[in-house]
Amino acid sequence: MKIIKCPAINGLGKTKGCELAPDAIIKILKQNYQLSESGRLLQYTVEQIPTDNSNPEQSNKNIHEFLLDNNEIPVILGGDHSITYPAFRAFAKKFQNPGLVVFDAHPDLVNNFEPPTHEDYLRTLIDKDILNKNNLVLVGLRTWDPKEYEYLKSNKIKHFTMREIAAEGLHETADAVMSIAHNFGAAYISIDIDAVDPAFAPATGYPEPAGITSRELLYFLNRLKNLRNLRAFDIVEINPSKDTSEMTVKLAAKIVSELL
């Protein structure tokens, strides 16, 4: 499998520091994780997409073109969540009926910016008909603004809030997500680290209390790895400059070790 470093940010100045995450994650991965939890030897290559955070349009073009040429299942390390816009654009050109499973505390459906930021990339993908709204599943939501909530409800976007996960159960929620994603022509999984409770992943720009635990996220991902149509992952919104204990970067490296 291939790890692709993508240190791009376009968070309207609010995600500075996330560009440091790919190198930090790879460093911990090499130091701590030669084997997965199951004892499997980790084998991977590492490549980097050239990005310019003073020019988001050019970064998006580079990400899109790089991933169009990639023929392996990638684990893409951001960067902030704006990278999922050009990454999924490339994904949608390569696969028919693509779908997206997103772990996030926020729905990222605010009004469109140009180029898309980490706050609105999902709305832009839907509004530009790159992503069929019926092929989107959001997991771990627990905060939104009124316009996002209205858009989510009016478009009947599938989502599982933390309140619902707590009520229905972890296993049942994973079953439901698997059932939906099974019908995608190709599945892309995007992990915003703020889906995880800040007790386990504090170093992110918009931490929200009452999230899933790190072990619960790994459970979800180990279930989703069994999808035969799974074709890409990304991990975003980790800010090493805020990670005084390296807890968040270590979690990201752990996640990568289980995805490989």
pLDDT digits (tens, 9 = 90+) for 13-50: 779 999 999 999 999 999 999 999 999 999 999 999 99
Residue with tokens 């996220």: 217
Domain that holds residue 245: 2-259
pLDDT band at 113 (very low <50, low <70, confident <90, very high): confident
Instruction: State the total domains in the chain.
Output: 1
How far is Cα of residue 128 from the mean position of the Cα atoms in its chain? 20
Name the nearest CA neighbour of 239 among 199, 193, 196: 193
Which amino acid appears at position 164 of this protein?
E
Close Cβ partners of 133 (under 8 Å, ≥ 6 residues apart): 126, 155, 156, 157
pLDDT given for residue 11 in this prediction = 73
Query: Mean pLDDT across the stretch 250-256?
Result: 99
Close Cβ partners of 199 (under 8 Å, ≥ 6 residues apart): none
pLDDT given for residue 209 in this prediction = 98
Query: Mean pLDDT across the stretch 190-203?
Result: 98
34-38: long-range contacts (C-beta < 8 A, 24 or more apart)?
Answer: 35/257, 36/257, 36/258, 36/260, 37/257, 37/258
Instruction: State the average pLDDT for the chain.
Output: 96
Q: Determine what percent of the chain is predicted with pLDDT higher than 70.
A: 100
User: At residue 67, does pLDDT exceed 90?
Assistant: yes
CATH number at residue 70: 3.40.800.10
Query: Mean pLDDT across the stretch 85-89?
Result: 98
Query: Mean pLDDT across the stretch 238-242?
Result: 97
d(CA 249, CA 152): 31
pLDDT given for residue 90 in this prediction = 98
Close Cβ partners of 251 (under 8 Å, ≥ 6 residues apart): 193, 196, 200, 201, 214
